Amino acid sequence: MTFIDQSALPTTGNREIDRDHNEIADRVNAIYAAWQTDGTCRLLRPHLEALLETLRGHFAKEITIARGAGYKAWVEHHTRHAEFLARLQRFIDTCENCDSGHPLDISLFRILETHLYEHEMTLDQDMWALWSEPDAGSDQPLILWRPEFSVGVEQIDQQHRFLIRMLNDFFLSLDGPAALADHHQRLKAILNETERHFRSEEQYFSHLPAEEAERHRLAHDQLLKELMLAIKDREAFGADDLKALLAGFLRYWLIDHIVNIDAKLRDFLR
Ligand SMILES: [Fe+2]
Ligand SMILES: [Fe+2]
Ligand SMILES: [Fe+2]
Ligand SMILES: [Fe+2]
C-alpha cells in the first residue's frame, strides 16, 4: 500500500508545480516502502536526503514562480520553507548511528510529513489564484509587455522584449506540428539568447556599486543553472510538458528577474 495516493492530490492550476508534488509524493512513498522492509537509518538516510534535495529545488522554484506572479508575502513564505528544511535536516541528523542498523523513528517523520502536507495544500493555496495558463488553442501570448518591465535602457529593454517574444513564439509553436527535436532546439536557442543577454547586461555593471553588481551577476549564474536543469530534465518530454514548463515556470522565472532584479538598474543607469 502506498502512503500518499497521488491521484488524490489536489491540482494547483500550475502543472509544473503539480509535477513537483508528484515527485515529492513519490519520494515520501519510497521512504515508507523502505521503512516497511527494513526501517534502519542506514537504508533510509539516502531516501531522506533525496527528499530534502527535491524539496529544496521545489521551494526555490515555487518562490521564483510566486514572485514572478506578483505574490507579495513571499519573504514570509520563504521563511516557512527554510524552517521546514531545517527541521527535516535536523531529523536526518538525529540518525546518529547511520552506519549501524539503528532503527528510524518513523513517528517523527510522520509529524514532519503532516506539516509538509499542510503547508503544501493549505498555506500554498494563497498563490494558486495568481497563475493561469492561456486557453488551449488561443493565440493569447504567454507574456504581455508591461511598463514596469522597462529598466530605462533601450538596449536592455529591447533584449528583454526579444526574450519575451522567444518564449511567446515557442509557446504558440507547441500547438503546431513541429517535431520534438525542433522544440528542444528552440529551448537551446532560448538558453543561448539568455546567456548572450546576461553578458550584454553585465557590461553596464561598472555603473553599479560592487556589491549590487556581484549580487546581480550571481543571480544570472543561478538563472542559467535553473534553465539548464529545466532543459536537461525535459529531454524526453513532449510538447504538452514543454507547455507546462513555459506556462508554469519559465515565464515567471523571466518576469521575476526583470521586475525584481533588473529593475534596480533603473536607479543606477539614469
Ligand atoms: Fe508545493
Ligand atoms: Fe510553499
Ligand atoms: Fe539581469
Ligand atoms: Fe535582464
pTM: predicted TM-score of the whole model, two decimal places: 0.90
Ligand number with the minimum distance to the CA of 81? 2
Ligand number with the minimum distance to the CA of 76? 2
CA of 176 to the centre of ligand 3 (A): 32
DSSP letters spanning 227-268: HHHHHHHTTT--HHHHHHHIIIIIHHHHHHHHHHTGGGHHHH
CA of 186 to the centre of ligand 1 (A): 28
CA of 98 to the centre of ligand 2 (A): 30
What residue numbers bound the domain in which 260 lies?
147-268
> What is the number of domains present in the chain?
2
CA of 58 to the centre of ligand 3 (A): 22
Q: Are 265 and 156 in contact (CB under 8 A)?
A: yes
Same-domain status, 202 and 254? yes
Residue 201 located in a structural domain: yes
- pLDDT at residue 212, as a whole number: 94
Residue 139 located in a structural domain: no
At residue 92, φ and ψ (nearest 5 deg) are: -60, -40
- pLDDT at residue 233, as a whole number: 73
CA of 114 to the centre of ligand 4 (A): 40
CA of 246 to the centre of ligand 1 (A): 18
> By three-state DSSP, how is residue 103 classified?
strand
Same-domain status, 111 and 152? no
Same-domain status, 123 and 224? no
CA of 124 to the centre of ligand 1 (A): 7
Q: 167: which residues sit within 8 A by CB, 6+ positions away? A: 142, 143, 190, 246, 250, 251, 254
CA of 227 to the centre of ligand 1 (A): 19
Q: Give me the tens of pLDDT residue by residue for the chain, a chain 270 residues long.
A: 678 888 888 899 999 999 999 999 999 999 989 888 888 888 888 999 999 999 999 999 999 999 999 999 999 999 999 999 999 999 898 876 666 677 778 888 888 889 898 998 888 898 998 988 888 777 889 999 999 999 999 999 999 999 999 999 999 999 888 888 888 899 999 999 999 999 999 999 999 999 999 999 999 999 999 999 888 877 777 888 899 999 999 999 999 999 999 999 998 887
Same-domain status, 49 and 153? no
Ligand number with the minimum distance to the CA of 218? 3
CA of 247 to the centre of ligand 3 (A): 21
Distance CA 64, CA 60 (A): 6
Cell numbers placing 94: 538525529
Q: How buried is residue 199: exposed, middle or buried, by Cβ count under 10 Å (0-12/13-18/19+)? A: exposed
The domain spanning residue 161 has which CATH number? 1.20.120.50
CA of 85 to the centre of ligand 4 (A): 30
